[in-house]
Amino acid sequence: MVPSAQLRIFLLFGLLVPACATPVALAPIPALDAPSPSPPGDWPAQERLAWWEKMVDRLSPADAAEARLCMGSINLELKNGRLARNYFRMALENDLSIKEASQARLGIAKAWLLEGQVELALPYLEDAIPHLAGPPLEEGRYLVAWASGKEITGPVESSIVARLSPFMSGLRPVSAFHSPTLGMKVDVARASWTPLNMRGNHETMARPFRITIHHSAEPLHGTRMSDSLRKVRNIQKAHRDKGWAGIGYHFLIDRGGRVIEGRPLAIQGAHAGDSEMNRGNIGICLLGNFQTQPDRGSAYIQPQSPSSFQLAALKGLLDRLRKQFSIQGKSVFAHLELKGTLCPGPELDAWVRFYRSRS
Ligand SMILES: [Zn+2]
């Protein structure tokens, strides 16, 4: 009888527990599909790790990959982010199931979070989430919300918060900020992207009574804050090159769902068309290219979809703005409804119409 079969029988009788389960009394870290044989789960982490280190080279490639997932998890327990990442990466080099590969990516994200590297963790979380289920999915969603600096809405199991606290302690959520002029909460204050001073050729905005939705028409992949802010500065430059006072939109929403403050709300926007169209009109731009533009080159042929984070953030922002300024749902528009343009692309246009129909 080969050892693994022998130990599978032990497992059947409950004599061993999967080694990836954490032995402390908290709700367990979601169990990975630990290969058998596995060391007893109540051994100290260092001993389980040593056990795997002796065993891993003797396992089949598939079991060795699963063993490396376990070794990554144990290193997360030991708060050793660099080693954890190495084991998860080694596991990913083998043929893992989609579920296991997603667990490895979640592990890499957690390892970065242990070191406070939020922006490095986010892409791994986003890659992992579509293929996770159950507690790992809840963890991934919670971490994305936290790392994006967003409010966590809805009830969250206290056991999840307890389990994830080691990965969040080093984080600084994206600067939550209350606009000093209008009390509108945004994730990224205008000062964060060091805008140029507004030129004098602008009008103050009286009470806003309508909202217009745009896309930036420039592809943006990923959720790194630095990439998002670079795009925002590019938009500022393009708008100033047109002779405008500064960036035309009041808010921009990046792929991770961060709401970024653009033009102060106290100043009339430059986004909808002429001065009459901009009067009392709040401009919101989702970063990304949601409309095919083949004449602009290969990068513009395939349109992106608005990310789920962007749409969730857009809904939250619209709801808040409408409440604050008593704007009716019927006064929320896609840009193409006000002007001959393809902005914001068919998908976001349809979303805006749906939002309006529900409000
Ligand atoms: Zn537009």
CA of 20 to the centre of ligand 1 (A): 50
pLDDT for 5 beyond 50? no
Cβ-contact 91, 102 below 8 angstroms: no
Residue 42 binned pLDDT confidence (cut-offs 50, 70, 90): confident
Average pLDDT on 49-55 reads 91
Q: Which of 73, 72, 11 is nearest to 36 (CA)?
A: 11
Residue 33 binned pLDDT confidence (cut-offs 50, 70, 90): low
Average pLDDT, the chain: 83
CA of 77 to the centre of ligand 1 (A): 48
Q: Are residues 189 and 322 in the same domain?
A: yes
Q: Which of 83, 14, 10, 16 is nearest to 53 (CA)?
A: 83
Q: Are residues 197 and 107 in the same domain?
A: no
**Which residue among 121, 143, 168 closes a domain?**
168
Cβ-contact 199, 267 below 8 angstroms: no
Average pLDDT on 19-23 reads 47
Q: Are residues 269 and 162 in the same domain?
A: no
Average pLDDT on 209-217 reads 97
Q: Are residues 204 and 338 in the same domain?
A: yes
Looking at per-residue pLDDT, the higher value among 213 and 157 belongs to 213
Question: Strands 281-286, 210-215: parallel, antiparallel or unpaired by DSSP?
Answer: parallel
pLDDT for 290 beyond 60? yes
Q: Are residues 164 and 183 in the same domain?
A: no
CA distance 163 to 42: 17
CA of 101 to the centre of ligand 1 (A): 39
pLDDT for 355 beyond 90? yes
pLDDT tens, position by position, 166-184 = 887 644 433 332 334 355 6
pLDDT at 270: 96
Q: Are residues 288 and 236 in the same domain?
A: yes
CA distance 103 to 111: 12
pLDDT for 306 beyond 90? yes
- Radius of gyration in angstroms for the set of CA atoms belonging to the chain, rounded to a whole number: 25
CA of 222 to the centre of ligand 1 (A): 22
pLDDT for 89 beyond 50? yes
Q: Which of 217, 222, 266 is nearest to 245 (CA)?
A: 266
pLDDT for 50 beyond 90? yes
CA of 238 to the centre of ligand 1 (A): 13
Average pLDDT on 88-100 reads 89
Q: Are residues 230 and 317 in the same domain?
A: yes
Please tell me the total count of domains within the chain.
Answer: 2
CA of 293 to the centre of ligand 1 (A): 14
CA of 3 to the centre of ligand 1 (A): 64
CA of 319 to the centre of ligand 1 (A): 20
pLDDT at 3: 41
CA of 246 to the centre of ligand 1 (A): 16
Q: Are residues 26 and 148 in the same domain?
A: yes
pLDDT for 27 beyond 60? no
Residue 34 binned pLDDT confidence (cut-offs 50, 70, 90): low
Looking at per-residue pLDDT, the higher value among 37 and 129 belongs to 129
- Give the whole-number percent of the chain exceeding pLDDT 90: 53
108-112, 241-245, 263-267: the lowest-pLDDT one: 263-267
CA of 17 to the centre of ligand 1 (A): 57
pLDDT tens, position by position, 329-343 = 999 999 999 999 999
56-70, 240-254, 343-357: the lowest-pLDDT one: 56-70
Looking at per-residue pLDDT, the higher value among 88 and 62 belongs to 88
Cβ-contact 161, 175 below 8 angstroms: no
**Which residue among 133, 168, 203 closes a domain?**
168
Structural domain including 295 reads 177-357
28-42, 83-97, 134-148, 183-197: the lowest-pLDDT one: 28-42
CA of 336 to the centre of ligand 1 (A): 7
Read off the CATH number of the domain in which 22 is found. 1.25.40.10
Question: Strands 177-178, 251-253: parallel, antiparallel or unpaired by DSSP?
Answer: unpaired
CA of 217 to the centre of ligand 1 (A): 8
Read off the CATH number of the domain in which 244 is found. 3.40.80.10
pLDDT at 232: 97
pLDDT tens, position by position, 230-256 = 999 999 999 999 999 999 999 999 999
pLDDT at 184: 63
pLDDT for 202 beyond 90? no
Cβ-contact 140, 125 below 8 angstroms: yes
pLDDT at 1: 39
Q: Are residues 273 and 242 in the same domain?
A: yes
pLDDT at 28: 42
Q: Which of 276, 347, 344, 356 is nearest to 319 (CA)?
A: 356
Q: Are residues 125 and 197 in the same domain?
A: no
Average pLDDT on 285-302 reads 96
Q: Are residues 67 and 84 in the same domain?
A: yes
**DSSP code string of 39-68:** --TTS-HHHHHHHHHHHGGGS-HHHHHHHH
**Which residue among 139, 168, 197 closes a domain?**
168
Q: Are residues 145 and 193 in the same domain?
A: no
**Three-class SS state of 267:** strand
